[in-house]
Structure 1
Amino acid sequence: MVAQETTVQTSPSRWKKFFREVKAELKKVSWPTKQELISNTGVVFVAVLVIAGLIWAIDAVFAQILHLIIK
């Protein structure tokens, strides 16, 4: 069985069509307001801090347990 080699032809008209469709899709996006963006950014920042604190606490506990086992 012989594998056939296929090449994809990319013409400028295909690129134009692609970017036209991307632009059309971006117009359909429901963009957040500035206030929503600030609020959501704050929520993400707080969530990251909480998760980082939890990971730090769990790591500290396991480090102490390991220190007791090794000692």
Structure 2
Amino acid sequence: MSERLRMILVGALLVSGVVAYFLIPASMAAYQLAAVLAGALLATAVFLTSERGRMVIAFSREAMAETMKVVWPTRKEVVQTTGVIMLMVSIMAIFLWLVDFGLLWLVRLIMRQET
């Protein structure tokens, strides 16, 4: 089956699950859910057998391998870094408040002199 036909089939399976959801009466909510899930699962199965699906699987495996290579920080490093960030945010907030207060004072001074 060609790649294009597989993608059309994937879309058709997804749409058929949604259409079935709306065709089944609301009193049969379990069947509605089953229809949507069946359409999604079948579409996923068809997608994963396609070339694009194999590329997604390969990418996922490579991403997991890269994740394993990451050197994660220790708890102590995370706490220290968080503390430094909170300190810098506080310092910047105070600085910006002082600048805002100074500019407000300057504008009020200028406005008083003009009247």
Equivalent position SS for 1:43:
helix
The one-letter code sitting in structure 2 at the alignment partner of 1:16 is I
Superposed CA offset, 1:10-69 (max 9, x none): 621011011111111111111100111011101100110001100100110011000111
Q: 1:28 to 1:64 in 2, by over 3 A?
A: same
Which entry has the higher C-alpha Rg, 1 or 2?
2
Q: How far apart in 1 are the matches of 2:76 and 2:94? A: 27
Give the aligned partner of residue 52 of structure 1.
Answer: 93
Backbone CA RMSD of aligned residues = 1.5
For structure 1, the residue ranges without an aligned partner over 5 or more in a row are: 1-8
Report how many aligned residue pairs link the two structures. 63
**Structure with greater contact order relative to length (CA < 8 Å, sep ≥ 6):** 2
Greater percentage in helix: 2
Q: Could you tell me which of 55, 65, 70 is aligned with 2:106?
A: 65
**What is the TM-score normalised by the length of structure 2?**
0.52
Runs of 4+ in 1 over 3 A off after TM superposition: none
**What is the TM-score normalised by the length of structure 1?**
0.81
Give the aligned partner of residue 62 of structure 2.
Answer: 21
